[in-house]
Structure 1
Amino acid sequence: MPSSSKVDLLIKGDLVLSDRVAANTYVGVCSGSIVGIYTEESLPEAKEFIDATGKIVFPGVVDAHVHSYSNLQERFEHSTAAAAAGGVTTIIEMPYDSCGPVFDTNAYTEKQKWIADEAKVDVALLSTIKKQGDLESVDALVELGTCGFKLSAFETCPERFPRIDDNVLWDILPTLAKTDLPVGFHAENDIIIEALIARYKAEGMTYPKAHCETRPPISETLAVSKLLEFAYWTKFSLHIYHSSHPRCLDMIDWYRDQGVDVSVETCPHYLLLSEDDMPEKKAFAKINPPMRSQEAVSGLWQGLFDGRIDWIASDHAPWPLERKSNEAIFNNGSGAPGVESMLPLMFSEAVVKRDMDIVKLGQLLALKPATRFKLSHRKGSIAVGKDADFAIIDPNHEWYFDASVTQSSAKWSPYEGKKVTGKVTQTILRGKTIYADDVVLAKAGDGQYVAAQK
């Protein structure tokens, strides 16, 4: 507590701490950091007071899977504005950009400049590795504060988004293990998928659900099992991105029991949509991996409640509408905007509809990703010494999702028209309100680069 016993900001509400909800409790902020949690009897003076009585004060959400530059209409300008509107105060940015992947210090520092110029929330950066496995820049990237490495078992593009072949992985993973940072993978088997797509195209089968049929669960589970074996033998810290099927969780459990260091995320679309929605949603729900069966969706929900899934991330990929409008499903981009909708959707679906503990949702959306990517010295929880990042939700506010008023450049969503209970009413970044009353107040450059803790 400052010697004046006066704080810059005092917020009252139901605080979602890492282990409990502190109802009708106050949190104090000085110089952008949390300096105290108080009851009515011990309040300091405050220059500014936010009365969120009856509302839920979450830690600022940490979205561990955002693509801001796959579509250059988006950039940090739009993705971080969308984050602010969705209660997300930190994004972890993917290293696969249309303008080139982030595998050396030049690309990395250029992206840091974009953060300084454009970002409206805080940003941590991942790095990647060239297809041939060049590790020359790894130590320098670690020194710059990269929070991990993302690689792929699927070849989207040999330069921008390559598959790293098994022989190369065998060479490089022991070295990456020494960084003590997570190495995450897009886990799909491209040989199976490409053969099926070629067959479907030849036979004129390009209807929406064909996207799911050409990426069967085995195309994901094979890749996950291979990566788990690599993690077992090379001892690197494995992260599985956007898991869509509960069988992946079964395998992960088995390897965890053998000491493998592995984390796994899922995304709202795998919990809220299924392959049965493809005829209606069409390319709006064309995402890799694809939507799965209703049974798989139920299995993922069970995995969330059982603690087998480490966190939820958006996989925000906001293609322009023209990349989502082709009648032939394979001629559309894969991915959907999601950073703005993640917190309200998950509050509505997990807490309101399925009675998930609010503390657990806070862990899934903030604490666990921040911890895994070594950002928890600043991010992920409401605790003294952490950044004063908060997402305030009115838990009773009912509304309908309208993509036309969202902050992403995409202006479309697979959740268009969906009824939601619980609305983000205010987002606070390092003690400064950056979103309130449906308006993004943050300016370009208000966001900061966040380095991983060494």
Structure 2
Amino acid sequence: MEQLDVIIKNGKVVLPTGVSETDIGIKDGKIVVLKKGITTKAKTTWDAENQYIFPGMIDVHVHFSEPGREHWEGFHTGSMMMAAGGCTTYFDMPLNGIPSTVNQEALDQKAKLGNEKSFVDFSLWGGLVPGNEIDLEALANSGVIGFKAFLSTTGNKEFEAVDDITLLNGMKIIAKLNKVLALHSESAAITNWLKEEKEKAGKFSADDYLKTRPIMAEVEAVQRAIYYAELTGCPLHFVHISSAEAMEKIAQAKQKGMNITVETCPHYLLFTHDHLRELGTVAKCAPPLREKEEQQKLISLLIEDQFDMISSDHSPCPYDLKDPTVYNLFQAWGGISGGQFSLLSMVELAVKHNIPFETVAKWTASVPAERFGLSDRKGKIVEGADADLAIVTLEQSYTVSEENYYAKHKQTLYMGHTFPCQVVGTFIRGDVVVKDGKIVADQPEGSWVKPEGYTVVN
């Protein structure tokens, strides 16, 4: 064999079949050989002794707010943050930019910025909002990974929640386009009514906020979406599910053969409503962090392998939108900043609950790739795949600080949290982006990744 570009030797490689002590040979951005004791010469060698090599994480749910709100988070800082956490491909949601990604022009604008600024690869969601049903086909033809809609009020005038008729019409079109609809599933009627009741009573505490977004609001929206998917044949992906009862509805639909996947987020597994009580706005999200009993149910479901994938739902904002001295809890932005910590979180949970690392790799890489049409090149450590890799050590802990968090705004629920592991290296298509936990790439090298075989639909 001709000279390789990179050899990663002596590592514990997380393969689909389990962890194997093998070497990885990389050429032209691809994994070209997997075997113990590669003797071919290479330009660069990485000694991964006592390190685990995971497939690079594919985070299907992040909010980078460029264009229009780069001061919230943009592709440059956002992608460095993802790389530092071992993520090599992320899917940017359509709602927080100005304009939102709801038509061809907005998609092209966002893609251009991503190609110029992202340190790792990315895919783009399109949006389903009232009035843009006519734009869905063009977005699909241009290579969006899927579509996103809200069943609860968004708090964003550029991206409104769908009404039931828009949802049904959109689902019918998306099914024809052979795409997936991702849904934020909380009942707008229930949550808005409860919020109004609390505001009338002048009640704005953490407990009051939790009561305005009860589990039944999530369950009602999930069940309604499942009914509509039965009518229309639309594939669904439920984002950031936070309750066991909603998971039960999804499991029942899957058992009927429906085309559905589901994610949860690390913050629902590592944190509880007590953190909202203690820390205030930095821990506010929607759906909210649940009580300890519900968190334990979610962890049990994780151990039982009931979630298809894990995503961060990285949803940052400037400090003033989270400042508890300026806004009461209801007024503060609802989102958790933490995209850098998803793989670390799952390794922590795996170590604590004896979950195999290949299962972590399934949740964070292979299932996202398979679900959204990227498995021809991403998601697994196999010969012929992109050399997208995250190198993790269990010999060093990692405590989150302002100095090592790469997001634009350092305000995060994870601040001060200590993980029993650390991402020491990240490769994107064979190039080292992160080494010893620090960004070492000279310039952005990421590009827009489109699903396999996307075609124009007539």
Bin of the TM-score, shorter chain as denominator length: over 0.9
The residue type equivalent to 1:332 in the other structure is A
Residues 115, 445 of structure 1: 8 Å contact kept? no
**Deviation at residue 19 of structure 1 after TM alignment:** 2.0
**Which residue number corresponds to residue 323 of structure 2?**
325
Output aligned runs, 1:300-339, within 5 Å. Answer: 300-327=298-325, 328-339=328-339
SS of alignment partner, residue 394 of structure 2: strand
Distance 2:88 2:207 in 1: 35
Match status 1:285 vs 2:304:
no
Residues 369, 375 of structure 2: 8 Å contact kept? yes
SS of alignment partner, residue 340 of structure 1: helix
Distance 1:151 1:444 in 2: 34
Q: Provide, for residues 372-424 of structure 1, a one-character-per-residue CA deviation record: whole Å limited to 9, x for no partner.
A: 11111121111111110110011121232213431101102112212210100
**Deviation at residue 144 of structure 1 after TM alignment:** 1.7
The residue type equivalent to 1:27 in the other structure is I
Output aligned runs, 1:27-42, within 5 Å. Answer: 27-40=24-37, 42=38
Distance 1:194 1:138 in 2: 28
**Which residue number corresponds to residue 347 of structure 2?**
347
**Which residue number corresponds to residue 160 of structure 2?**
162
Match status 1:50 vs 2:46:
yes
Output aligned runs, 1:244-393, within 5 Å. Answer: 244-327=242-325, 328-348=328-348, 350-393=349-392
SS of alignment partner, residue 137 of structure 1: helix
Distance 2:157 2:387 in 1: 39
Farther off after superposition, 437-446 or 93-102: 437-446
Distance 2:283 2:155 in 1: 21
Farther off after superposition, 96-105 or 58-67: 96-105
Distance 2:155 2:214 in 1: 21
Distance 1:347 1:108 in 2: 34
**Deviation at residue 158 of structure 1 after TM alignment:** 7.0
Distance 1:232 1:43 in 2: 55
The residue type equivalent to 1:408 in the other structure is A
The residue type equivalent to 1:428 in the other structure is F
Number of paired residues?
447
* CA separation of 1:399 and 1:329: change in aligned 2, threshold 3 A: same
The residue type equivalent to 1:300 in the other structure is L
Task: Please give the root-mean-square deviation of Cα atoms over the aligned residues, in Å.
Answer: 1.5
**Which residue number corresponds to residue 83 of structure 1?**
82
Distance 1:381 1:287 in 2: 31
**Deviation at residue 139 of structure 1 after TM alignment:** 2.6
Distance 1:141 1:441 in 2: 35
**Which residue number corresponds to residue 16 of structure 1?**
14
Q: Provide, for residues 104-134 of structure 1, a one-character-per-residue CA deviation record: whole Å limited to 9, x for no partner.
A: 11111111110121111111011012313x3
Residues 129, 149 of structure 2: 8 Å contact kept? no
Residues 117, 444 of structure 1: 8 Å contact kept? no
Residues 217, 245 of structure 1: 8 Å contact kept? yes
**Deviation at residue 243 of structure 1 after TM alignment:** 0.3
Residues 174, 235 of structure 1: 8 Å contact kept? yes
Distance 2:351 2:439 in 1: 26
**Which residue number corresponds to residue 68 of structure 1?**
64
**Deviation at residue 58 of structure 1 after TM alignment:** 0.5
* CA separation of 1:443 and 1:139: change in aligned 2, threshold 3 A: farther
Match status 1:122 vs 2:116:
no
Residues 120, 443 of structure 1: 8 Å contact kept? no
**Which residue number corresponds to residue 141 of structure 1?**
139
SS of alignment partner, residue 161 of structure 1: coil
> TM-score, normalised to structure 1's length?
0.95
* CA separation of 1:19 and 1:96: change in aligned 2, threshold 3 A: same
Residues 131, 159 of structure 1: 8 Å contact kept? no
**Deviation at residue 333 of structure 1 after TM alignment:** 0.4
* CA separation of 1:451 and 1:443: change in aligned 2, threshold 3 A: farther
SS of alignment partner, residue 420 of structure 2: strand
Distance 1:444 1:106 in 2: 26
Matched-pair identity in %:
30
Residues 8, 48 of structure 1: 8 Å contact kept? yes
Gaps (5+ residues) in structure 2?
454-458
**Which residue number corresponds to residue 410 of structure 2?**
411
**Which residue number corresponds to residue 397 of structure 2?**
398
Distance 1:193 1:359 in 2: 38
Q: Provide, for residues 150-176 of structure 1, a one-character-per-residue CA deviation record: whole Å limited to 9, x for no partner.
A: 111112157422221112222231221
Distance 1:53 1:427 in 2: 16
The residue type equivalent to 1:340 in the other structure is Q
The residue type equivalent to 2:281 in the other structure is A
**Deviation at residue 72 of structure 1 after TM alignment:** 2.3
> TM-score, normalised to structure 2's length?
0.94
The residue type equivalent to 2:33 in the other structure is G
Distance 1:15 1:314 in 2: 24
**Which residue number corresponds to residue 59 of structure 1?**
55
SS of alignment partner, residue 209 of structure 1: helix
The residue type equivalent to 1:221 in the other structure is V
Residues 338, 414 of structure 2: 8 Å contact kept? no
The residue type equivalent to 2:288 in the other structure is P
**Which residue number corresponds to residue 426 of structure 2?**
427
**Which residue number corresponds to residue 223 of structure 1?**
221
SS of alignment partner, residue 426 of structure 1: strand
Residues 403, 413 of structure 1: 8 Å contact kept? no
Distance 1:55 1:158 in 2: 43
The residue type equivalent to 1:322 in the other structure is D
Distance 1:18 1:92 in 2: 23
**Deviation at residue 321 of structure 1 after TM alignment:** 1.7
SS of alignment partner, residue 176 of structure 1: helix
SS of alignment partner, residue 413 of structure 1: coil
**Deviation at residue 203 of structure 1 after TM alignment:** 1.7
Residues 59, 362 of structure 1: 8 Å contact kept? yes
Distance 1:185 1:37 in 2: 39
